[in-house]
Structure 1
Amino acid sequence: MVDPSERFIPEPSKDTGFGRSPYERDRARVLHSAGFRRLAAKTQVHTAGSGDFLRTRLTHSLEVAQIARETGARLGCDADVVDVAGLAHDLGHPPFGHNGEDALDEVSRAWGGFEGNAQTLRVLTRLEAKVEGAGLNLTRASLDATCKYPWPRRDGTRKFGVYADDRPVFDWVRLGAPDDDRRCLEAQVMDWSDDVAYSVHDVEDGLYSGFIELRPLLLDADERAALCADVAQVYSSESPALLNEALIELLADPVVAPLAGYDGSFRAQQALKRCTSVLTGRFVAAAVDATREKYGDGPLRRYDADLIVPQAARIRCALLKGIALRYVMRRRGMEPWYAQQREILTDLVRLLADRAPDELDPVFAPLWREAPDDTARRRVVLDQVASLTDPAAQSWHQHLTGGSASA
């Protein structure tokens, strides 16, 4: 029988009289980690630091953890395990959001590539300075709950959850999984919570900042069709026609419709916050109710069940994601800045690889010296670049290039 509370490296008991569970200890370790603090200056959708209202990776992770905790508790999961997964799920994301992730993957393809979820496992089990040889040394259950994509890189698949040299700890985490690709229930709860937070909150940020206006979608059938085409291409396997029907219903929803006249006033912000709260609650309830309908009322944990998310909820979530994609991430004038972000990260990897170990951070220079081969040394360089916040990446780039945009 596999013990979900086991740690990769056994630790002596730390009973301080408070009776904390192993998973409560896991949560504390993530909250106090350096990687978690860095999320405060990493881009979610809007560039970190571009506004005092807009979300960062840190606030996003806190919101995912709250949604996951509530969802998991309703299903009978250990609330701390799903909380840990929500807090930790983005620890491996590099500077500049998904744009930075794509840039690092492209520059490192020859030696295994880059993926934010695989990097999260690496941060948790290797790079955080807590336990020698095990990172934060979290329990098996907590680590498994962070694995969105529990498989190595495969041809034709962009997403994966483990690099080749992290397979030993990954295989240990996955002991007891009924098959190679199946995610535990807690990981599925975290993933849906991430989708919910991402979709609802990014639209909230976009409306508040003035990048999103819903009125054109109400008035222009061609614009609705264009949005649905984007959603079908990126976020949903449903037909554009079905997505269009769902979009019309979403825009007419009593909690969404008032936002077509959003003007930034206090009353408008109240309506926006109410919409955010109601939509989040609906998405959580839809998944909980559908899962309970299939599996009954008892506690559900690990591999007892799969999370059931109704089609209607998935479609609405995808449409909200598409609104943020079309009007925020792909808004006019952003491509030069996105290109500069990619250039900064590509230059950093190339320059640090050429100048290592002398120019590496003191945390990473010893790891570079101890690496067994060139591939492992380049992975250390990638680890350093991925760990940087957005401002730190720009600062390091200026230092290494003498202030120029490229070397």
Structure 2
Amino acid sequence: MLAPYACHPDASRGRLSEERMSTFRSPFQRDRDRIIHSSAFRRLKHKTQVFVEHEGDYYRTRLTHSIEVAQVARTIAGVLGLNSELAEAVALAHDLGHTPFGHTGEDALAELMAPYGGFDHNAQALRIVTRLERHYADFDGLNLTWETLEGIAKHNGPVTGPFADPKHAAEPLPYALAEANAMWDLELSTFASAEAQVAAIADDIAYSHHDLHDGLRSGLFDEADLEALPVTGPAFAAVDRLYPGLERMRRRHEALRRVFGVMVEDVIAVAKNRLAAAQPASVEEIRAMEGTVIRFSKPLYQELKAIRSFLFTRMYRAPSVMVERARVTAVLRGLFPLFMARPDLLPADWREAVDQARDDVTLARIIADYVAGMTDRFALQEHARLLGGGEAPLRE
């Protein structure tokens, strides 16, 4: 049973290109399934989370991260009476627009695209699901429902208007987002559905949890470091009380699963309190609120900030990671201008679009689509082949 403030599938605003309803699946189930079967989703298995994809088989990739986010989103949505299928669809789609090499690659591509309208991975995800996936006979993209598109666009909050993040208020709307919004008004000045908000908080929970795992495995820090932090310290202490002398890897896992549980339970408790106080009668009332209903409590948020500050210093900006960041930045800085100067080097199925490009802006956006879609290893291979004298690899 869905709560009155949930997104009900029979009340969906539909799809941009009208389709017959599925006999067996709800509209949001179809969205989820189309995302899973998309080319962009498959490529996430070879796109970095923090460590470059080839650095180790045990580290998270964008694909495993997205699966973990979807699991958290399903759990929270189910407890709150929300539509878990929509929450899962948004969660699975939220990283489709990521470049190779994670945020390092995004920073590099944003710099290269600055003269041509910039680059933003959330906006690129919309471009993928509305334009770049070209498998269906009747439409470009995946023809997702309005609710899923809205969730991709606004899961981190309003993009325009008084409630938008002030850090980005003065910036122009990313062109990919503007294009999608021009096709179908996504009401960018309002908050998204509670399901999309769940997907956003699930992203925070998943990466806060698994980056601790991956950082420990990498050796960039150890358990003693985490024992000095809020949330993680009490978790290790609780495991030691219950399981004295536990083997190291089991101790680590038991402690971090408790950290995971603390975050999920906190979000659920806060959401229940906020929903009980506001008594929203519809998803429209959720969108019209002056803040999110899905969030961490203030005390836990402050504690998580301390953990993220630790991760930033000891993991995201660790010397060995910074060396790799510089190397992969150079890869994109080499490939993008090369393709701008020599678009004939693009694969044949991309050159048709290039031939129709009216100006450098259009050309740059086509090349950004191509480069952003590369996996880590394909980008490294192409850079070696075209600029470093390596052998030509098989094309993806």
TM range (shorter): 0.7 to 0.9
User: Structure 1 residue 137 and structure 2 residue 137: aligned?
Assistant: no
User: Is contact 1:200-1:320 (8 Å) kept?
Assistant: no
After superposition, give the CA deviation of every residue in 1:61-105 in whole Å (9 maximum; x if it has no partner).
000011011111222221111101111111100011111110001
Residue 266 (structure 1) shift: 8.1
- 1:128 and 1:4 mapped to 2: Cα distance? 23
Residue 347 (structure 1) shift: 1.2
Among all aligned residue pairs of Structure 1 and Structure 2, give the percentage whose two residues are the same amino acid.
32
Question: Structure 2: which amino acid aligns with 1:250?
Answer: V
User: Is contact 1:119-1:162 (8 Å) kept?
Assistant: no
Task: Point out the more displaced range, 147-156 or 51-60.
Answer: 147-156
1:287 to 256, 267, 291: 267
Alignment of 1:51-200 (within 5 A): 51-131=56-136, 133-147=139-153, 148-149=155-156, 150-151=158-159, 157=168, 163-164=174-175, 166-171=177-182, 173-175=184-186, 177=187, 180-200=189-209
3-state SS of 1:347 partner: helix
2:326 to 332, 335, 339: 339
User: Structure 1 residue 8 and structure 2 residue 13: aligned?
Assistant: no
After superposition, give the CA deviation of every residue in 1:140-188 in whole Å (9 maximum; x if it has no partner).
111112223553799952998963355353255545x4x6142332222
Task: Point out the more displaced range, 80-89 or 311-320.
Answer: 311-320
Alignment of 1:8-407 (within 5 A): 8-15=16-23, 19-131=24-136, 133-147=139-153, 148-149=155-156, 150-151=158-159, 157=168, 163-164=174-175, 166-171=177-182, 173-175=184-186, 177=187, 180-216=189-225, 247=229, 249-255=230-236, 267-296=247-276, 302-305=283-286, 306-356=293-343, 358-403=344-389
3-state SS of 2:18 partner: coil
Task: Point out the more displaced range, 156-165 or 76-85.
Answer: 156-165
User: Is contact 1:85-1:146 (8 Å) kept?
Assistant: yes
Moved over 6 A (4+): 152-155, 158-161, 297-301
Question: Structure 2: which amino acid aligns with 1:310?
Answer: S
User: Is contact 2:267-2:295 (8 Å) kept?
Assistant: yes
In structure 1, the gaps of 5 or more residues are 220-246, 260-264
Change (3 A) 1:96 1:161: farther
- 1:41 and 1:286 mapped to 2: Cα distance? 32
- 2:199 and 2:106 mapped to 1: Cα distance? 20
3-state SS of 1:341 partner: helix
Change (3 A) 1:165 1:292: closer
User: Is contact 1:76-1:301 (8 Å) kept?
Assistant: no
Residue 208 (structure 1) shift: 2.3
Change (3 A) 1:22 1:344: same
In structure 2, the gaps of 5 or more residues are 1-9, 287-292, 391-396
After superposition, give the CA deviation of every residue in 1:264-296 in whole Å (9 maximum; x if it has no partner).
x98222222222322222212211211211223
- 2:378 and 2:59 mapped to 1: Cα distance? 19
Question: Structure 2: which amino acid aligns with 1:183?
Answer: A
Change (3 A) 1:161 1:137: farther
Residue 333 (structure 1) shift: 3.2
